[in-house]
Amino acid sequence: MIAEAGLAALWFAAALALLQLAMAGLGLWLKQDELIAAVRPVAIVQGLLAALSFGLLVTLFLQSDMSVLLVATNSHSAKPLLYKFAGAWGNHEGSMLLWVTVLALAGAAIGLIERKLDRATLTATLGAQAFIAIGFYAFLLTASNPFARLSPAAADGMGLNPLLQDPGLAFHPPTLYFGYVGLSIAFSFAVGAMVTREVGPVFARAMRPWVLAAWVFLTIGITAGSYWAYYELGWGGWWFWDPVENASLMPWLAATALLHSVNVLAARDGLRAWTLMLAVVVFSMSMVGTFLVRSGILTSVHAFAVDPTRGSFILVLLAIYIGGALVLYGARVGRVKAGQGFDLLSREGGLVLNNLLLSVILGIVLIGTLYPILAQAMGQQLSVGPPFFNKAAGPIALALVAAMMVGPLLKWRRDDANALLGKITVPVAVSAVTMALTFVIAGSIGWMELVGLGLAAGLAVASFAPVWKRNPLRTPMFTWGMMVAHFGVAVSLAGMAADSAFTSERLVAARYGQPYYVGPYRVVLNGVAPTIGENWSAVEGRVTASRGPVDGPMILLRPQRRFYSSPPTDTAEAAIATRVDGQLYAVLGTQDAEGRWQLRLWWKPFVTLIWFGGGLIALGGALSLIGRVRRARRNVKRWEEAW
Amino acid sequence: MTRWKLWLPLIAFMALLGLVGSRLIVPPDTQVKSALVGKPLPEFALPGIVQGKPGLTRADLATGKPRLLNVFASWCVPCIAEAPQLMKLKAAGAQIDAVAIRDTPEAVTAFLSRHGDPYTRIGDDAQRVVQIGIGSSGVPETFVIDGQGRIAAQHIGDIRDDDVPKLLAALAAAK
């Protein structure tokens, strides 16, 4: 009964989305106030029904109801409770239902709390949101029904991909989805504004918190995903430029650009057409990402739920939504007034530079990701890997960081070159000194690593400038947010550069009791023993590591090779010891004929800064969001009276 | 901004759609093609594996007459499936030489007596040196070699009934 109820709720939600679109469209066209007034409640009920449907799917997974096809193929009764729960979205159908649920709930949230937009634009926005939702409802109901029954019921399920059995990954997809789908709101706002031609500061201020919120989730999702890949795949790297990773990075780059350009529109009424364009691009990138991951036209280590039929369906949705928005853009933006002008040397100019650099990086990632498809179309087979991305995107990312040192110090509209030089003396000096010291101490490291470390130090100092000598209580919360986020970028960059420049790696055929050396550590494999977990068995290496004197304190590392029975898979579980100045990372391989164990060891100085910085970036975004929302609330009363 | 520029994003997007759409319609070719098609065979000399039948060297394959080079093994099930088609090709006048991959004389002799022997020469490629050298990734595979000892075409997998005329045409074309 639960499955049928879930399916019914999904059908009702789809019907309401259709109604929402019709009422918004007709209401605006015929200027019928009654129709327009009903759009908000319909959006709210639609969100609730979608949430109900998803809740029922989760219930089915928690009950291990093996008469439901999706549960039987993706869960197992012996699975730990957390993964039964996560199993609900660790598959194609469930994740699409989660996607549409977040979409509908976002629409409901707009209906419930949005107070800044004028009535017509809000109605058009909700119409656009319903229009997007309809496509995904149709996808679920016709091509990937999550509630399909299995008759006769299975005796037990087939389990969840063991790689996904990790607490980090259980919550990784929902976080990313909140980000991806949150960006659909920016898209709907842009469509709404293009329909009513109300593109100005009010629109930008209304859109900004939604973009911020989506961006915070996306940042957390990418950071967590990167750490997951780092410790779960056992390859010792934190970013692989894999198509699936790029699928999450591209919307983040676009959203970061949008976040900054929307500030220009909100504060100075500039960059109107560009901001609209970015809002369309942002959502396009999250849909292109979904498409690439689901269609199987790119090969990826993470690829799952690969199916060309589903790919075609998403491609059609992509064509309708993005194509439609771009047609609207071409037809309408010409008549949107250009907005205010500004000097080249100004905060606006800095933000334009930021946008250009981010767009170039986005273009590089997009081209690099799609190039194998283009080459294939021309009859060549190739893949584009880290060397291309690092070489092409790295220098531009460094230029972006250099721009970040200067940008926040600029004044709106126009600034004075001499005043600016005065303000950036300290950060530039810090950068130069850091580079010189690193060069003296470390000697020959790559120029990108050297410049990266220098810029990280300079940016870390510069990011404090906007709050320097200000009364901390009177400094707006979003200024603090910007400071924290920019400081986070510096921290992350320092981690990346340090990892890339100073990592030491060893691959040894280890004999018991024999010492091997990696970085400052002396590592000994003392033995390998079998061990067992909730739904896996493993062989576990007992590795001790010490630095400094031989009788110094020991770290015990336990890297494992795990065997999961359902489905039969083996995984390598890396053992990682975190210290203040870095991580020691050990992976156990196979045993050779002479009884030696393959042991891969890394010493990664300051690698944790990468994810710590990512966390700070997200925290900065959250602080800004709180600041914006608090300030906006003061103005809400006026708007409520107008409604 | 001039009006037409506003349509550039749409045009770029349509190009992108066309590109990925074409890939959906024509699914990716997952077979590994030899990069050596059109190039001369590498130098090699393989001993014979079956009594009374000579081994194979590069010089044997550059005698001015186009021929087929079949990569096979007695332990390979699709090779059994393609044996009748090889006999048909031989009957149609094709000269077929072979490379036996990781095989033993007894097993190959038994295989040929059971499924027919279309081969003029068979080289014993126990270490897969020639197989890797000519860009073959599995068994069976069949190469069309022209009179100068160049690889004219590559057929991956077993030869089916409808592949026979194609291979004969490729042989005729590889003068």
Our CA-based measurement puts residue A199 at a distance from the nearest CA of chain B, in whole angstroms, of 16
Least confidently predicted of A172-176, A536-540, A578-582? A172-176
Question: Rounded to whole angstroms, how far apart are CA atoms A192 and A120?
Answer: 8
Nearest to A312 among B19, B24, B33 (CB): B24
The whole-number average pLDDT for the span B117-122 is: 92
CB-count burial class (<10 Å; 0-12, 13-18, 19+) for B70: buried
Chain segment B43-65, per-residue pLDDT in tens: 888 898 888 888 898 888 888 88
What rounded mean pLDDT belongs to chain A? 84
Residue B38 has pLDDT above 60, yes or no: yes
Query: In chain A, what percentage of residues exceed pLDDT 70?
Result: 91
Q: Is the pLDDT higher at B74 or at A639?
A: B74
Q: Is B113 on the interface with A (CB under 8 A)?
A: no
Element (H, E) at B25: helix B8-25
- What is the end-to-end Cα distance of chain A in Å, rounded? 42
Residue B22 has pLDDT above 60, yes or no: yes
Residue A299 has pLDDT above 60, yes or no: no
Question: Rounded to whole angstroms, how far apart are CA atoms A517 and A512?
Answer: 14
The whole-number average pLDDT for the span A335-358 is: 80
Least confidently predicted of A224-228, A293-297, A428-432, A516-520? A293-297
Structure tokens at A202: 């009010």
The residue among B16, B62, B125, B170 whose CA lies nearest residue A297 is B16
Question: Rounded to whole angstroms, how far apart are CA atoms A638 and A627?
Answer: 19
Q: Is B30 on the interface with A (CB under 8 A)?
A: no
Residue A383 has pLDDT above 70, yes or no: yes
How crowded is the C-beta side of A414, counted as CA atoms within 13 Å? 5
**CA–CA distances in Å: residue B26 to residues A446, B21, B23:** 42, 9, 5
Chain segment B122-166, per-residue pLDDT in tens: 999 888 888 888 888 778 889 988 888 888 888 888 888 888 888
pLDDT at position A142: 86
Q: How open is the CA angle A40-A46-A52, to the nearest 5 degrees? A: 140
The whole-number average pLDDT for the span A81-90 is: 78
Nearest to A330 among B6, B22, B33 (CB): B6
Chain A residues near residue B21 by CB distance under 8 angstroms: 315
Q: How open is the CA angle A142-A144-A146, to the nearest 5 degrees? A: 115
Residue A300 has pLDDT above 70, yes or no: no
Question: Rounded to whole angstroms, how far apart are CA atoms A506 and A184?
Answer: 45
Residue A356 has pLDDT above 80, yes or no: yes
Structure tokens at A53: 């449907």
Residue A437 has pLDDT above 50, yes or no: yes
**Residue A464 phi/psi, 5° resolution?**
-80, -15
Helix axes of A477-502 and A608-642: crossing angle, nearest 10 degrees: 160
pLDDT at position A412: 79
Give this prediction's pTM: 0.80
Residue B98 has pLDDT above 70, yes or no: yes
Residue A85 has pLDDT above 50, yes or no: yes
**How many helices and strands in chain A, by DSSP H and E?**
17, 10
Residue A196 has pLDDT above 90, yes or no: no
Q: Is A336 on the interface with B (CB under 8 A)?
A: no
Chain A residues near residue B23 by CB distance under 8 angstroms: 297, 373, 376-377
pLDDT at position A399: 92
What rounded mean pLDDT belongs to chain B? 84
Strand, coil or helix: what is A603? strand
Residue of chain B whose Cα is closest to the Cα of A312 = B24
Residue A389 has pLDDT above 80, yes or no: yes
Chain segment A617-639, per-residue pLDDT in tens: 999 999 988 888 877 766 655 55
The residue among A108, A89, A237, A112 whose CA lies nearest residue A173 is A89
> How many pairs of residues across A and B have Cβ atoms under 8 Å apart?
62
Our CA-based measurement puts residue A349 at a distance from the nearest CA of chain B, in whole angstroms, of 18
Question: Rounded to whole angstroms, how far apart are CA atoms A447 and A39?
Answer: 57
pLDDT at position A303: 47
ipTM: 0.70
**Residue A466 phi/psi, 5° resolution?**
-65, -20
Structure tokens at A426: 């300290």
pLDDT at position A305: 47
The whole-number average pLDDT for the span B84-101 is: 90
Q: Is B31 on the interface with A (CB under 8 A)?
A: no
pLDDT band at residue A346 under the 50/70/90 scheme:
confident
Q: Is B21 on the interface with A (CB under 8 A)?
A: yes
